[in-house]
Amino acid sequence: MVSVAFDRLEIQGNILRGYRRNLVRHLVLEVRNRDAARRFLGVAAAGGSDDVPRITNEAPGRARPDAFFNIGLTFAGLRALGAPQDTLASFPTEFVEGMTRRALKLGDFGPGAPEHWPQPFDNPARVHIVASIYADFKASLDKAQAQVAPAFTIVGVLDGRSLPNQKVFFDYKDNISQPRFQGIDDPEQRRVDEPKDPLGTVLLGHPTRFEGLEFGVPVPRELGFNGSYNAFRVLRQDAAGFERYLTTAAERLLSHPDVGQLLPKGEEGWIGAGLDRVGALREIVAAQMCGRWRNGVPLALSPDSPLPEPGVSETNFDYPRGSTCPAGSHIRRANPRGGQIVQRIANRTRRLVRRGMSYGPDFDPKLPDDAERGLLGNFIGASLGAQFEAVMYDWINLGLQDPDITGSNDPLLGANEPETSWFDLRLRNGGHIRLRGFPRFVWARGGAYTFLPSLPAITYLSKLTG
Amino acid sequence: MTEEEMAKKAVEALDIVPGGDTRRRPVHTNGVGVEGHFVASEAARDYCVAEHFQGGKIKVTARFSNGSGKTALHDGWSDVRGLAVRFHLEQDKQEERAVDLLAMTLTEFFTPTYETFLKFASYTNPEAPVTRQSAWRKLLELLELIQPALPAPYPGQTTSSVAGALRYADEHARSELSIFHAAAIGAPKSYARAAYHAVHTFFAVAPDGTRRAVRFNWVPVSGVLNTGPEDPVVDDYLKSDLQLRIKGKLGIGTDPEPVRFILMMTIGETGDDFDDPSRSWPPHRTRIVMGTLTIDAVASDQDADGERLSFNPWRLVEGLEPSNDPILSLRRNAYEFSRKRRGGVAGCPFSGV
Amino acid sequence: MAGESGFDTFVDDLPRKWWFKLLANWIVIPFWAWLRPTPPLPGGPRPTPQPSENVQRMMNLVMPLKDKSPLGRAYAAMAVAQNVNEIFAGLDNVGTVHFARFVVIGDNLCMISVYDGDFTNYIRDFIATVGSVFDAIMDLVEGGEAVKPCETKIDAFIDWIHAHDLFQAPDLPTDLFRLQDAARGVERKREPGLLRSLSREYILQLNANPNFSLGGGYRAYPGFSVAQVRQKLGVGW
């Protein structure tokens, strides 16, 4: 395996670590004037100016600017900037085809099908660049947007925000577990004991966890090296429907003969102060579907209560045989860690960096409404096909990794229909109760596959001619 | 419009003469009543709690039929065939209890909705005169690599709805598959040598309460076989074939040879059409062997045990539920209307509903 | 038949005449292929959301041998035979292959297999475990050098395999219209067009995809993965 000299200052700053800001604004840009766009990119990569925001790089102990600014380009965007034919031909098929043509692999059918996506994602040919601004104050977002506007046509603006306490809609604490990378010190991950992933998991041109296998680096190397790919997703979440289903499931469970193996009578208080039996069962269903209690405590370490004494780690666990985390739960499907899976070779090879912020109005479970809200998600890795699509197609949906769940979809994220959906709740005696009849809770409302170039690559793009 | 009025319109849309032949069925007019029994497989009860799937020997009456609504018998002509099966359950006090399963040799129905059905019926007038393509037209289409539009008419055939059906398919993509299949369906060597499909989706309820979207079909144990293109076209052979077959006089063996079918149940999956009978499910779905139907007699009283019997796809039992398929809904009242019109027996299972 | 002229009979018999077949193959079909460009449709099963479509999927990989002689075929046989350990290691680790066969048909080395899940994952996982087997094979087949070594050209290799996997004609025949519309980048305005033109579309498609699979195959116990079968039979997974 070749070890490659690596200068982290050359990497865009949103790949290896998150910014943890209050707000995000994703600008969907069309390149109308190739020269103006190239000039903009050149200045942005070289440190910015009064008129052009600076592209944030991966700097240890970096200064905190008012706004962090990063870009990703679609295949249409590379073409619009004038990338030559041999460059375009060196990108992988899934990126060339783009997210809409991979819809069935991602479960984007029915209500989530691209033909139902609203503007700007109804016209992928005009989605060239997704520029993301992260800041704590709206004024910083507006300022950066005003700087971008002269060089591009802004075809879409998507605003997101962090909900309090790291929560997302559905009220789970999110953004807990991320891959760690060899040679990268992330202070937030120092207490995590998951194995470190090789840099090639997320950056092109570096060794991957597949021994001897490398993901293609687009040519010229200046463009491809240290690049990464992002599946940018606008995911609508049906918060009201989810809460409603929890109640339905809990009420059905009440009379189930095995419910005592799920929640012995009298233990409702372990689940939450003041909860009645239905309320406690709702939380158990929510926890098992996710693999974590809504406060983030993993079922793998604390199956019976979200408030274990003593406390447990949120990140340091595995899935041995007989794990108390259901095989069909969301976090175990998305990352089976070291647990036994059908595709032995695939343990830890499909790791994804996930960065997400919520969009839409607040949700109050006591006054549920159907307003559009959800997640603006970035799913980042060195291969869309080997990581994002592989996870979505074989694991989140289908459940190929474990014969006990094959044929079912992820209860939270999967392409479910009430007629066919199922999920096995794990009982304390090792048995299960099969839940059925839940609808799809999350579906796509837009998105794009983007290439996240290194800073030298952005400079290269700015110097294209013709 | 009430559901009853829709049903009336739907039946009348099939009438060849205004007002219909009030003594016969409007379609599947010619048929053969038969008797036998059904025994469920070991697996069936795990998937459906319905009484006839519990493994006991269930008495069955059934009717094979030709799809045409014309009274003249033409067994040898290309046509869809039907197999309607009634499972007779344990009697409860005075009430007759039964389940009907209606199937046909086409793998899907022609149209998805009431409105499209009426339109389809208006295109497929069985009294339309047979049209022939000119030789020049045929030559042109050969050069266009297009399939011949119309089969050569059978001797004595003067009317045909095929041209109308093809025209309908050209205008309605949803119906192209069924019409493509129907155009090539041919005539079976025997009613015992055809597969029959119940096209609609039902929900089968398992002992643990699981409701599965399912479709049923009958697979003949003796295999599927159509008459060959060189075989003589015979008008009346299907009933005598059954009689001879059951008596063991077909030349295969000398002992009586009951006619058998396996009942297969296909389980639908995410994204399948549950409410659209004009769309087949792809052939890779999990299939459950539900049991074996054995037909051991042609009914001696064809009028009572065939013509006057009235089947209804809504005659169901606990454990089998209808889907929201609009054609299935339509059939509920259409069969009842048709039964009343021709004075059929075995009354409506839903009077009082 | 009554009412038919001699010309009628002549036209009806045309499709069986040798000279008419010649005319069709040399003039009529090339003409239509020119008039209605029909791109080859991609190989293998198409992505769908149904679980039963995503297990027991068929791969029919046809790789033309460079050396079309008994010697060339012998080299192919040797390349496979020398790698039996590697192949078993691949099968057991990838965990999603029901059956796989290498066969030589005509001047082609073919790999015919039944696998679960996504095609690219299947190939990628296989290459990660037993890439050397495919490198040995790539030496022997036309166009193989371009994607060798497959470990470091994995994306190109997967595309190459996909291109050599047979097109699977739809199980519901009229679905071909939709597949072609998508490949031609058109939306069928007048729906659905002449149903009877399906014959022409099949001829044009088989002109573009000379080798193909009729439908996605038939299965005795559809809907179950390798691991489900192994688990149920108690042989471990």
Segments making up each domain of chain A, as ranges: 8-236+447-462, 237-348+403-444
Would the pLDDT of A211 be above 90? no
Judged by CB atoms closer than 8 Å, whether chains meet at C11 and B171 is answered as no
- My answer on whether C161 and C177 are in the same domain is no
pLDDT score recorded for residue C166: 96
- My answer on whether C177 and C204 are in the same domain is yes
| Arithmetic mean of pLDDT, A405-432 | 95
Window from B47-56, B205-214, C81-90 with minimum mean pLDDT: C81-90
What is the ipTM metric for this complex? 0.91
Window from A24-28, A119-123, A131-135, B267-271 with minimum mean pLDDT: B267-271
Residue of C nearest to B272 (CA): C50
Compare CB distances from B270 to A415, A434, A436 and report the shortest one's residue.
Answer: A415
Residues 162-191 of B with CB under 8 A from C: 166, 169-173, 176-177, 179-180
Compare CB distances from C195 to B176, B271, B286 and report the shortest one's residue.
Answer: B176
Mutate to test the interface with A, among C46, C96, C120 (most CBs of A within 10 A): C120
Instruction: Specify if C236 maps to a domain.
Output: no
A319/A338 Cα distance (integer angstroms): 7
- Going by pLDDT thresholds of 50, 70 and 90, the confidence category of residue A60 is low
Give B67-98 pLDDT, tens digit per residue.
998 888 999 999 999 999 999 998 777 778 99
pLDDT score recorded for residue C193: 66
Judged by CB atoms closer than 8 Å, whether chains meet at B139 and C219 is answered as no
pLDDT score recorded for residue C2: 46
- My answer on whether C15 and C86 are in the same domain is no
Give C121-135 pLDDT, tens digit per residue.
999 988 888 888 889
- Going by pLDDT thresholds of 50, 70 and 90, the confidence category of residue C220 is very high
pLDDT score recorded for residue A438: 96
| Arithmetic mean of pLDDT, B33-57 | 97
Residue of B nearest to A421 (CA): B270
Would the pLDDT of C35 be above 70? yes
Percent residues over pLDDT 90 in chain B: 61
Would the pLDDT of B266 be above 60? yes
pLDDT score recorded for residue A266: 93
CB contacts of C224 in chain B (<8 Å) are: 286
Question: Does the CB of B4 have a partner CB in chain C at under 8 Å?
Answer: no
Would the pLDDT of C23 be above 50? yes
pLDDT score recorded for residue A366: 92
| Arithmetic mean of pLDDT, B267-293 | 93
Would the pLDDT of A2 be above 60? no
- Shortest distance between the Cα of B317 and any Cα of chain C, in A, equals 28
Instruction: Specify if C71 maps to a domain.
Output: yes
pLDDT score recorded for residue B327: 95
- Going by pLDDT thresholds of 50, 70 and 90, the confidence category of residue C189 is low
Question: Does the CB of A219 have a partner CB in chain C at under 8 Å?
Answer: no
- Shortest distance between the Cα of B156 and any Cα of chain C, in A, equals 10
Provide the residue range defining the domain that includes C66: 51-168
- Going by pLDDT thresholds of 50, 70 and 90, the confidence category of residue B185 is very high
pLDDT score recorded for residue C3: 53
Question: Does the CB of A145 have a partner CB in chain C at under 8 Å?
Answer: no
CB contacts of B268 in chain A (<8 Å) are: 419-420
- My answer on whether C176 and C146 are in the same domain is no
pLDDT score recorded for residue C5: 78
Judged by CB atoms closer than 8 Å, whether chains meet at C118 and A346 is answered as no
Residue of C nearest to B150 (CA): C196
Instruction: Specify if C46 maps to a domain.
Output: no
Question: Does the CB of A416 have a partner CB in chain B at under 8 Å?
Answer: yes
pLDDT score recorded for residue B19: 59
- Shortest distance between the Cα of C129 and any Cα of chain A, in A, equals 7
Judged by CB atoms closer than 8 Å, whether chains meet at C223 and A109 is answered as no
Q: Please tell me the pTM assigned to this model.
A: 0.91
Judged by CB atoms closer than 8 Å, whether chains meet at B270 and A409 is answered as yes
| Arithmetic mean of pLDDT, B234-239 | 95
pLDDT score recorded for residue A429: 95
Question: Does the CB of C196 have a partner CB in chain B at under 8 Å?
Answer: yes
| Arithmetic mean of pLDDT, C183-201 | 79
CB B202 within 8 A of CB B214: yes
Percent residues over pLDDT 90 in chain A: 87
Average pLDDT, chain B: 90
Judged by CB atoms closer than 8 Å, whether chains meet at A417 and B268 is answered as no
- My answer on whether C126 and C176 are in the same domain is no
pLDDT score recorded for residue A124: 96
- Tokens representing C119 are 């095609």
Judged by CB atoms closer than 8 Å, whether chains meet at C50 and B149 is answered as no
Judged by CB atoms closer than 8 Å, whether chains meet at A417 and B271 is answered as yes
Helix/strand/coil for A12: strand
Q: Please give the CATH architecture assigned to the domain spanning B3-342.
A: Beta Barrel (2.40)
- Shortest distance between the Cα of A122 and any Cα of chain B, in A, equals 22
Judged by CB atoms closer than 8 Å, whether chains meet at B210 and A415 is answered as no
| Arithmetic mean of pLDDT, A426-437 | 95
Q: Identify the CA nearest to A379 among candidates A118, A216, A134, A175.
A: A175
pLDDT score recorded for residue B348: 47
> Partners for B (CB, 8 Å, 3+ pairs)?
A, C
| Arithmetic mean of pLDDT, A348-376 | 94
Would the pLDDT of B20 be above 70? no
Judged by CB atoms closer than 8 Å, whether chains meet at C56 and B284 is answered as yes
CB C169 within 8 A of CB C198: no
- Going by pLDDT thresholds of 50, 70 and 90, the confidence category of residue C4 is low
- Shortest distance between the Cα of B329 and any Cα of chain A, in A, equals 19
| Arithmetic mean of pLDDT, C3-10 | 79
Q: Which residue has the tokens 């040995």?
A: C136
Helix/strand/coil for A229: strand
- Going by pLDDT thresholds of 50, 70 and 90, the confidence category of residue A64 is confident
In SS3 terms, chain B reads as CCHHHHHHHHHHHHCCCCCCCCCCCCCCCCEEEEEEEEEECCCHHHHCCCHHHCCCEEEEEEEEEECCCCCCCCCCCCCCEEEEEEEECCCECCECCEEEEEEECCCCCCCCCHHHHHHHHHHCCCCCECCCCCHHHHHHHHHCCCCCCCCCCCCCCCECCHHHHHHHHHHCHHHHHHHHHHHCCCCECCHHHCCEECCCCEEEECCCCCEEEEEEEEEECCCCCECCCCCCCCCCCHHHHHHHHHHCCCCCCCCCCCEEEEEEEEECCCCCCCCCCCCCCCCCCCEEEEEEEEEEEECCCCHHHHHCCCCCCCCCCCCEEECCCHHHHHHHHHHHHHHHHHCCCCCCCCCCC
pLDDT score recorded for residue B351: 43
H/E stretch holding A282? helix A277-290
Would the pLDDT of A91 be above 90? yes
Average pLDDT, chain A: 94
Judged by CB atoms closer than 8 Å, whether chains meet at B145 and C195 is answered as no
- Going by pLDDT thresholds of 50, 70 and 90, the confidence category of residue A227 is very high
Choose the final residue of a domain: C152, C168, C184. Answer: C168
Residues 99-138 of B with CB under 8 A from C: 132, 135, 138
- What ranges do the domains of chain B cover? 3-342
Instruction: Specify if C232 maps to a domain.
Output: no
pLDDT score recorded for residue B353: 32
In the chain, the amino acid numbered B7 is A
Question: Does the CB of C199 have a partner CB in chain B at under 8 Å?
Answer: yes
Would the pLDDT of C1 be above 70? no
Question: Does the CB of C193 have a partner CB in chain B at under 8 Å?
Answer: yes
pLDDT score recorded for residue A117: 98
CB contacts of C151 in chain A (<8 Å) are: 210, 212-214
Q: Strand B202-205 vs strand A153-161: parallel, antiparallel, or unpaired? A: unpaired
Would the pLDDT of A379 be above 80? yes
- My answer on whether C162 and C187 are in the same domain is no
CB contacts of A417 in chain B (<8 Å) are: 270-271
Judged by CB atoms closer than 8 Å, whether chains meet at C152 and A107 is answered as no
- My answer on whether C138 and C56 are in the same domain is yes
Judged by CB atoms closer than 8 Å, whether chains meet at C53 and B145 is answered as no
Compare CB distances from A104 to C47, C93, C156 and report the shortest one's residue.
Answer: C47
Instruction: Specify if C205 maps to a domain.
Output: yes
What are all long-range contacts of A263-272, with beta carbons under 8 Å and residues at least 24 apart? A267/A304, A270/A304, A270/A305, A270/A307, A271/A305, A271/A306, A272/A306
- Shortest distance between the Cα of A27 and any Cα of chain B, in A, equals 33
Residue of A nearest to C182 (CA): A101
- Shortest distance between the Cα of A417 and any Cα of chain B, in A, equals 6
| Arithmetic mean of pLDDT, B175-202 | 95
CB contacts of B172 in chain C (<8 Å) are: 191-192
B206/B320 Cα distance (integer angstroms): 9
- Shortest distance between the Cα of A422 and any Cα of chain B, in A, equals 10
Task: Tell me how many residue pairs between chain A and chain B have CB atoms under 8 A apart.
Answer: 22
